[in-house]
Structure 1
Amino acid sequence: MKVFNYISEAFGELRDNVTWPEWAEVQKYTIVVAVFSVVFALATWGVDETFSKALAGFFTWVKG
C-alpha cells in the first residue's frame, strides 16, 4: 500500500507542481541536443582516427 501511495503522490506532484515547457521550446531544445550530439560524435571520431593513425605510424616506425 505504501508503494501505491508513493506513486500516486509522485504523479500528483508532476501534475500539480511541475512547470512544463511549451511544445515549441521542447522542439527547439531537442534540435539543439541532436545537433550537438552529432558534432560531439564527429569530433570524437576525428580524434580517434587521428590517434589511431599516429599510433600505427609510430609502431611502423619502431618496427621498421
Structure 2
Amino acid sequence: MSNVKDYINGTVEEMRDKVSWPTFKELQNSSVLVLIGSLVFALVVGAMDFVFDSSLTWFYNQF
C-alpha cells in the first residue's frame, strides 16, 4: 500500500512542480489553430466527396 501512496504523491508533485502548463492565451491560440485546421480538412474532404460523387454519377449515367 505504501508503493501506491508514494506513486500518487510523486505524480501529484510532478504535475504541480515539473510540468509547464500553457497560459490561457496559448490555449486560445492552439484552439483557434485546431478549429481552422479542422475546417480546412472538412472542406477538402467535402470537395473530394463532391468530385467523386459527380464523377461516378456521370460515369454510371453513360451506360
| TM value normalised by structure 2 | 0.77
Shift in Å at residue 3 of structure 1? 5.0
Q: Distance in 1 between matches of 2:14 and 2:45?
A: 40
Q: Provide the alpha-carbon RMSD of the alignment.
A: 1.7
TM-score after normalising by structure 1: 0.76
Write the letter of the residue equivalent to 1:38: L
Q: CA deviation at 1:15?
A: 1.3
Aligned-residue identity in percent = 35
After superposition, what is the alpha-carbon deviation per residue over 1:3-57, rounded to whole angstroms, capped at 9, x for unaligned? 5654443232211110111111110111111011111111111101111111111
Return 39-48 or 8-17, whichever deviates more. 8-17
How many residues end up aligned between the 2 structures? 62
- Give the unaligned 5+ runs of structure 2: none
* 1:30 partner letter: S
Q: Distance in 2 between matches of 1:4 and 1:43?
A: 50
Judged with a 3 Å threshold, the aligned counterparts in structure 2 of structure 1 residues 56 and 6 are, in CA distance, closer, same or farther, namely farther
Spell out structure 1 runs of 4+ moving beyond 6 A.
Answer: none
The one-letter amino acid of 2:51's match is T
